[in-house]
A and B are shown apart, each in its own frame.
Chain A
């Protein structure tokens, strides 16, 4: 009989302390639940992260990032990404919002019910936008999102609690060239004005490690409100979900010394990141394995385009936040020119430290090269200034297609207990076509300028699809309430439940799902008298 270093029991056990786990915990607490949160990493503060200049966790089973085999871009230059797919989670308290950039647009209503592209499967969610809209509103309020409630991506209720950031000169240049409605103020948790203890965004473009703890994260926006009301067990890596008679009986977890711990609860929610949620289910022998588990792995690939000689002083690098506007003509997916949804960030990625190790400086290198090669031999400084300032830098997130051949599996289990993923994923089949059509469309609007494909990135760190939501157990892992089809008390709350990906950043949709699950699990209890 196994012996455990500790045995704990709770009403509701949440695995993972990211934005999903935290928001669910807060909602469940409001319903009177006793919440136990299991976190594999340490309780690292923002100050400690800044001191070590990273989110790296010291525990042996939290090694990251991982460079996994991918493919070369099907079109355009090969960048320093080469053939790599970089899986870069944050393995400690607060999870991946600690290093995300903070853009939180909603999915377009039509993205919940999309037909297939090519030979892919249909991308219908078992819930609609209308179901989720109230939770979008609540999540935006809770996360103090800055955005425009009047200039909207689509008709619907928008009541952002903070005003939007002002559009930057590059945003306005886009509006001049492509039309006023081509640019919308980006909804973001980078605050446009102080929120509680958090100052307004400092516009350093170093949002992966916010220098002043301004950007809204699970750690600084939700955790302070619940820290004294939950039971947090950190430094414990869940390594098995134990089931009996169609129910989860317990979770086992190991600590850094290799000792095993047991957690019992009435209900369990797997709220790890979009990769590790799937890996935990895969590595648990007791958990039923539907055919879709680990399949349909999706991520947003990125097309980086430079537009030169636009004839407008766009001042790349100016702005009140890292990104203030998003380029939306291809978001709804109705543009006849393009087969899929694409949402673009208007930015100066060359200046970003996070584009950092692999993408930094691509545009600047190109500008310097153009100035250097000036056929008239014009003075370098003058040419660099002219070219740089009349340049736009657009990063298009490309909607991926759920493809059964794109899979996620366990490559190996390290002696520490960490599961190392193995992915089979590539650029979408239509990626090269997107680059071509997009370049052509943009070029028609800037006939005197030059649109250039600067590079492609295989990941936006959005890990989607491998425990997909479905109405029927035949084509998914969880139902519309996020309950695992074959286990009555196990829920998955992760971007891995997304049946399709839109081209919008996934965090707000995940946050909305968390609030909805909270209502499902913990209906409000009557006030005590």
Chain B
């Protein structure tokens, strides 16, 4: 059965759809894309942000855009992403850890 709609109704439907799209859909640069860029992660490191929930990713992205004095919660989120040694070390430019599959990968010998 064909939908019956007048011009006014058609315009209202169109406007509602546009408004919903603007308010609820993902922005052009979602947190999952923006965070690796803001943190300076290499492509192979981009999956580090999976340590955060989507909500946490959003929170950290907003904080990183603002910068300034971080809240304790922001530091907690950064620690989740970068705090483990096998991530911190490459992040600060150290060579790869000698052996990632054992417990003996904590420090680096010269």
Contacts and interface: CB of A to CB of B under 8 A. Distances in A.
Say whether A and B bind each other. yes
Given A317-B89, A381-B39, A382-B40, A373 B108 contact: no
A205 B102 CA distance: 13
Interface string A341-365: 0000000000101000000010011
Nearest to A385: B92
Interface residues of B, number: 32
Nearest to B41: A381
A369 B70 contact: yes
A341 B69 CA distance: 37
A329 B94 CA distance: 31
Nearest to B107: A203
A87 to B, nearest CB: 26
A204 B67 contact: no
Contact of B88 (A205, A206, A211, A364): A364
Contacts of A317: 85, 88-89, 94, 106-108
B79 A365 contact: yes
A202 interface: yes
Contacts of B82: 364, 368, 384
**Chain B residues touching A, majority SS:** loop
A318 B109 contact: yes
B69 A206 contact: no
Interface string B67-110: 11110001100110011010011011110000000111111111
B51 interface: no
Contacts, number: 100
B107 A351 contact: yes
A372 B106 contact: no
A353 B82 CA distance: 16
Interface residues of A, number: 35
B40 A388 contact: no
Nearest to B108: A318
Interface in A292-326: 315, 317-322
A425 to B, nearest CB: 29
Contacts of A369: 69-70, 75
A353 B85 CA distance: 10
Given A374-B67, A384-B91, A385-B91, A368 B108 contact: no
A374 B68 CA distance: 7
A169 interface: yes
A462 interface: no
Interface in A167-219: 169, 202-206, 211-212
Contact of B93 (A202, A211, A380, A389): A389
Contacts of B74: 372
18 contacts: A169-B110, A203-B106, A203-B108, A205-B107, A317-B89, A317-B94, A318-B107, A318-B110, A322-B106, A364-B88, A372-B75, A373-B67, A377-B67, A380-B39, A381-B40, A385-B93, A389-B92, A389-B93
Given A211-B102, A317-B107, A373-B68, 14 more contacts: A203-B106, A203-B109, A204-B104, A205-B106, A317-B88, A317-B108, A318-B110, A319-B108, A322-B107, A353-B106, A368-B78, A369-B70, A380-B39, A385-B93
Interface of B: 38-41, 63-64, 67-70, 74-75, 78-79, 82-83, 85, 88-89, 91-94, 102-110
Nearest 4 Cβ contacts at the A-B interface: A381-B40, A202-B104, A211-B103, A204-B106
